């Protein structure tokens, strides 16, 4: 029996014939893995995430989540195991109140009202937004929406959390809050982001993609401190490692 | 665009007031729906010349407005939009029925004037009754009530999703218009030459947004059937509310209530 919860084996995908977006993607994630998915714009990070939750089918190769192969038939079971946080929270929140949005998944999975309530409360507590419980989603700030979006998937009690650019459009305080929350969650996490500082603080491993291929799959520090590798793939060192000219600032350094 | 953003605000405003807490808001949505239907049915069934009897039906909106704390001013603003249509319904009656009915301070009032007036009043009351229903009941609760009435699920889901998606469409239209107007400062509206491309953009963007929302729903277990908030069961207070209003409507409709009250004091 494999200990890997997500296995991608030689996955290729294209939206149109002749222009492959992903080429032979192979990687696996096990229990407690926090993986940062990095790369320049348009390298296929979001497409790969969408394949993992079955939003894009028609790929070749094999994707297995929790020992279930991703096929059209298994999608409901797969999606029960994976929580996907969209880049734009407005796409994630469609119910009138935070409570209703968080309760959406537990209700769909047929839980009785008392258990739905329990799940919602637990998700709110995990993210620390109990005060938003009955707030209307359209009245919330970007940071609050992001936290609520995370809570909506936590209420599904997923094994795996996928996040597409979670720190985008967050102010420093909310970004810090997000990092703390991510570090407290002991799920398998795959986080696609250009915020390499956040990846450095939240992920133990990084997959660097370029041109639809995996260029490097290694521990976070090894990848994110390799200036040459990052620059060759349209990225740069995380800000906290750039420091003052000529003097790299150690991680976590405060003025 | 002021008008679009105002309309989005209006939808959100209705969502907000519908989720307030008041004795009326706490009534089971099925009961509120049935009461509203009964109110409209009794109101429109009044004889076309029974002005006094019809006016007694004002009791329902008065009570619901005051107990639920719903803004009467806002409802009048909403009524203003539909008032021209209501007026149009009744305005032609004086031309069709010219038989004199009575004289009021020397003015001959015809049957057509009276029936036109009752038609307008009926229209206003029906709109107020519907307004009060949606102002005290969230769309989810209303759909839940329709579900209990065995209205086809597909239809109920359509209503709910249309309500949710309409703001998506409107906010996309708003973004497009704002982006246009910021680069066309001397134009009053959108030039007709770009209507086609803007509408095309709006359609494509709305499809994209709707697709993303749908993705978000299916990823959280949505399989075509909306699971509604499991509301509490019907309680005796709900039945009492319905019975009280149905009784009141029947008394106002089938008895000469004003005369009976008048006789008490004479």
Per-residue pLDDT tens digits for A148-158 = 999 999 999 99
Contact status, residue B145 vs residue B229, Cβ threshold 8 Å: no
User: How high does pLDDT run on average in chain B?
Assistant: 87
**Cβ–Cβ below 8 Å for B220 and A94:** no
Contact status, residue A89 vs residue A145, Cβ threshold 8 Å: yes
Answer whether residue B15 shows pLDDT above 50. yes
Answer whether residue A109 shows pLDDT above 60. yes
Q: Look at residues A152, A42, A36 and name the one whose alpha carbon lies nearest to residue A90.
A: A152
Q: How far away is chain A from the Cα of B244, in angstroms, using its nearest Cα? A: 31
The Cα–Cα gap between B69 and B64 comes to: 8
The Cα–Cα gap between A131 and B204 comes to: 37
**Cβ–Cβ below 8 Å for A55 and B219:** yes
Nearest to A79 among B138, B219, B229 (CB): B219
Tokens of A189: 């996490």
Contact status, residue A80 vs residue A54, Cβ threshold 8 Å: no
User: How high does pLDDT run on average in chain A?
Assistant: 89
Q: What's the pLDDT at A1?
A: 44
A44: alpha, beta or left? (left if phi > 0; alpha if psi -120 to 50): left
Asked if A152 is an interface residue toward chain B (Cβ–Cβ < 8 A), one would say yes
Q: Report the percent of chain B where pLDDT is more than 70.
A: 97
Q: How far away is chain A from the Cα of B125, in angstroms, using its nearest Cα? A: 29
Q: What's the pLDDT at A255?
A: 44
**Cβ–Cβ below 8 Å for B16 and A136:** yes
Answer whether residue A248 shows pLDDT above 70. no
The Cα–Cα gap between A146 and A168 comes to: 9
What is the maximal distance between C-alpha atoms in chain A? 60
Which residues on chain A are in Cβ contact (under 8 Å) with B221? 76, 79-80, 104-105, 108-109, 156
- Count CA atoms within 13 Å of residue A220 on its CB side: 20
**Cβ–Cβ below 8 Å for A107 and B227:** yes
Query: Of the given ranges (A115-129, A215-229, B214-228), which has the lowest mean pLDDT?
Result: B214-228
Answer whether residue A203 shows pLDDT above 50. yes
Q: Look at residues A188, A217, A213, A215 and name the one whose alpha carbon lies nearest to residue A205.
A: A217
Q: Where are the domains of chain B?
A: 1-13+152-229, 20-137+230-260
Query: Of the given ranges (A16-25, A73-82, A245-254, B226-235), which has the lowest mean pLDDT?
Result: A245-254
Answer whether residue B69 shows pLDDT above 50. yes
Q: What's the pLDDT at A254?
A: 47
**Could you give the dihedral angle defined by the CA atoms of residues A231, A237, A238 and A244, in that order, rounded to the nearest 10 degrees?**
-140
Answer whether residue A241 shows pLDDT above 90. no
Three-class SS state of A195: coil
For residue B9, give Cα distances in angstroms to A139, B89, B135, B196.
Answer: 11, 30, 14, 27
Q: What's the pLDDT at A217?
A: 95
The interaxial angle of helices B59-68 and B236-254, nearest 10 deg, is: 150
Answer whether residue A178 shows pLDDT above 60. yes
* pLDDT band with cut points at 50, 70 and 90 for residue B78: confident
Q: Where are the domains of chain A?
A: 4-242
Write out the residues of chain B at the interface with chain A, using a CB-CB cutoff of 8 A. Answer: 12, 15-16, 19, 138-140, 164, 167, 209, 212-213, 215-223, 227-230
Q: How far away is chain A from the Cα of B196, in angstroms, using its nearest Cα? A: 26
Q: How many CB atoms lie within 10 A of CB B33?
A: 19
* Chain A residue closest in CA terms to B220: A105
**Could you give the dihedral angle defined by the CA atoms of residues B127, B130, B134 and B136, in that order, rounded to the nearest 10 degrees?**
100
Q: What's the pLDDT at A133?
A: 92
Question: In chain A, positions 107-136, which contact chain B (CB-CB < 8 Å)?
Answer: 107-110, 112-113, 116, 134, 136
* pLDDT band with cut points at 50, 70 and 90 for residue B66: very high
Contact status, residue B117 vs residue B50, Cβ threshold 8 Å: no
Which residues on chain A are in Cβ contact (under 8 Å) with B10? none
The Cα–Cα gap between A136 and A95 comes to: 9
Domain A4-242 sits in CATH at 3.40.50.300
Asked if A15 is an interface residue toward chain B (Cβ–Cβ < 8 A), one would say no
B170: alpha, beta or left? (left if phi > 0; alpha if psi -120 to 50): alpha
Candidate ranges A211-220, B141-150, B188-197; pick with highest mean pLDDT: A211-220
Asked if A77 is an interface residue toward chain B (Cβ–Cβ < 8 A), one would say no
Three-class SS state of B116: helix
- Tens of pLDDT, residue by residue over A115-145, are 999 999 999 998 989 999 988 888 888 889 9
What is the value of ipTM here, to two decimals? 0.80
Asked if A94 is an interface residue toward chain B (Cβ–Cβ < 8 A), one would say yes
* pLDDT band with cut points at 50, 70 and 90 for residue A66: confident
Q: What's the pLDDT at B205?
A: 86
Q: What's the pLDDT at B140?
A: 86
Which residues on chain B are in Cβ contact (under 8 Å) with A91? 209, 212-213, 215-216
Contact status, residue A197 vs residue A238, Cβ threshold 8 Å: yes
- Tens of pLDDT, residue by residue over B88-123, are 888 888 888 778 778 888 788 888 889 999 999 999
Q: Look at residues A153, A110, A108 and name the one whose alpha carbon lies nearest to residue B223.
A: A108
Which residues on chain A are in Cβ contact (under 8 Å) with B220? 79, 104-105, 108, 152-153, 156
Phi, psi (deg, nearest 5) at residue A99:
-55, -50
**Cβ–Cβ below 8 Å for A108 and B222:** yes
- Tens of pLDDT, residue by residue over A47-63, are 999 999 999 998 999 99
Q: What's the pLDDT at A124?
A: 94
Q: How far away is chain B from the Cα of A96, in angstroms, using its nearest Cα? A: 7
Which residues on chain B are in Cβ contact (under 8 Å) with A136? 12, 15-16, 19
Tokens of B112: 């057509």
* pLDDT band with cut points at 50, 70 and 90 for residue B2: low
A192: alpha, beta or left? (left if phi > 0; alpha if psi -120 to 50): beta
Which residues on chain A are in Cβ contact (under 8 Å) with B229? 100, 103, 107
Over range B169-195, report the average pLDDT: 83
Asked if A104 is an interface residue toward chain B (Cβ–Cβ < 8 A), one would say yes
Asked if A97 is an interface residue toward chain B (Cβ–Cβ < 8 A), one would say yes
* Chain B residue closest in CA terms to A139: B12
* pLDDT band with cut points at 50, 70 and 90 for residue B137: very high
**What are the DSSP calls for B158-183, one per residue?**
HHHHHHHHHHHHHHHHHHHHHHHHHT
- Tens of pLDDT, residue by residue over B245-264, are 999 999 999 988 888 888 87
Query: Of the given ranges (A116-125, B178-187, B212-221), which has the lowest mean pLDDT?
Result: B178-187
**Could you give the dihedral angle defined by the CA atoms of residues B122, B125, B130 and B135, in that order, rounded to the nearest 10 degrees?**
170
Which residues on chain B are in Cβ contact (under 8 Å) with A103? 229
Tokens of A82: 């994976």
**What are the DSSP calls for B193-261, one per residue?**
GGHHHHHHHHHHHHHHHHHHHHHHHHTTT--S-PPPP-PPPP-HHHHHHHHHHHHHHHHHHHS-HHHHH
The Cα–Cα gap between B179 and B197 comes to: 14
Query: Of the given ranges (A150-154, B153-157, B206-210, B223-227), which has the lowest mean pLDDT?
Result: B223-227
The Cα–Cα gap between B89 and B45 comes to: 16
* Chain B residue closest in CA terms to A104: B220
More confident of the two residues B101 and B134: B134
């Amino acid at each position: 029996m494999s200990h890997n919860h997500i296995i991608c084996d030689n996955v290729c995908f294209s939206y149109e014939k002749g222009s492959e977006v992903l080429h032979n993607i192979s990687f696996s994630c096990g229990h407690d893995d926090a993986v940062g998915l990095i790369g320049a714009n348009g390298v296929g990070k979001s497409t790969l995430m969408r394949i993992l939750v079955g939003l894009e089918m028609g790929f070749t190769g094999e994707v297995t989540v929790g020992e279930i192969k991703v096929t059209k038939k298994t999608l409901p079971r797969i999606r029960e195991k994976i929580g996907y946080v969209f880049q734009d929270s407005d796409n994630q929140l469609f119910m009138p109140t935070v409570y209703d949005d968080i309760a959406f998944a537990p209700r769909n999975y047929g839980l009785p009202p008392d258990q739905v309530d329990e799940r919602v409360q637990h998700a709110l507590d995990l993210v620390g937004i109990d005060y938003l419980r009955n707030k209307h989603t359209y009245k919330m700030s970007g940071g609050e929406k992001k936290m609520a979006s995370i809570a909506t998937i936590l209420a599904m009690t997923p094994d795996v959390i996928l996040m597409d650019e979670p720190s985008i459009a967050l102010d420093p305080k909310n970004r810090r809050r997000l990092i703390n929350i991510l570090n407290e969650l002991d799920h398998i996490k795959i986080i696609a982001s250009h915020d390499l500082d956040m990846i450095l603080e939240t992920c133990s491993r990084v997959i660097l993609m370029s041109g639809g291929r995996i260029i490097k799959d290694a521990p976070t520090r090894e990848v994110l401190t390799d200036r040459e590798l990052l620059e060759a793939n349209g990225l740069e060192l995380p800000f906290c490692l750039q420091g003052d000219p000529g003097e790299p600032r150690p991680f976590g350094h405060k003025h | 665009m002021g008008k679009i953003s105002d309309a989005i605000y209006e939808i959100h405003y209705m969502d907000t007031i519908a989720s307030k807490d008041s004795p009326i808001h706490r009534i089971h949505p099925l009961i509120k729906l049935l009461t509203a239907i009964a109110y409209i049915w009794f109101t429109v069934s009044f004889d076309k010349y029974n002005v006094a009897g019809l006016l007694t039906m004002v009791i329902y909106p008065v009570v619901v407005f005051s107990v639920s704390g719903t803004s009467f001013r806002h409802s009048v603003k909403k009524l203003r939009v539909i008032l021209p249509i209501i007026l149009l319904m009744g305005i032609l009656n004086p031309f069709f029925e010219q038989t004199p009915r009575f004289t009021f301070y020397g003015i001959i009032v015809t049957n057509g004037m009276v029936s036109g007036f009752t038609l307008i009043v009926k229209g206003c009351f029906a709109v107020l009754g519907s307004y009060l229903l949606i102002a005290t009941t969230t769309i989810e609760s209303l759909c839940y009530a329709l579900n209990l009435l065995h209205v086809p699920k597909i239809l109920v889901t359509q209503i709910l999703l249309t309500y949710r998606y309409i703001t998506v469409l409107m906010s996309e239209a708003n973004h497009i218009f704002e982006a246009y107007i910021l680069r066309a400062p001397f134009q009053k509206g959108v030039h007709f030459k770009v209507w086609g491309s803007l509408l095309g953009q709006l359609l494509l963007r709305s499809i994209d947004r709707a697709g993303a929302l749908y993705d978000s729903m299916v990823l959280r277990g949505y399989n075509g059937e909306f699971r509604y908030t499991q509301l509490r069961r019907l309680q005796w207070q709900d039945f009492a509310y319905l019975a009280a209003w149905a009784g009141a409507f029947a008394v106002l409709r089938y008895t000469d209530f004003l005369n009976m009250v008048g006789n008490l004091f004479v």
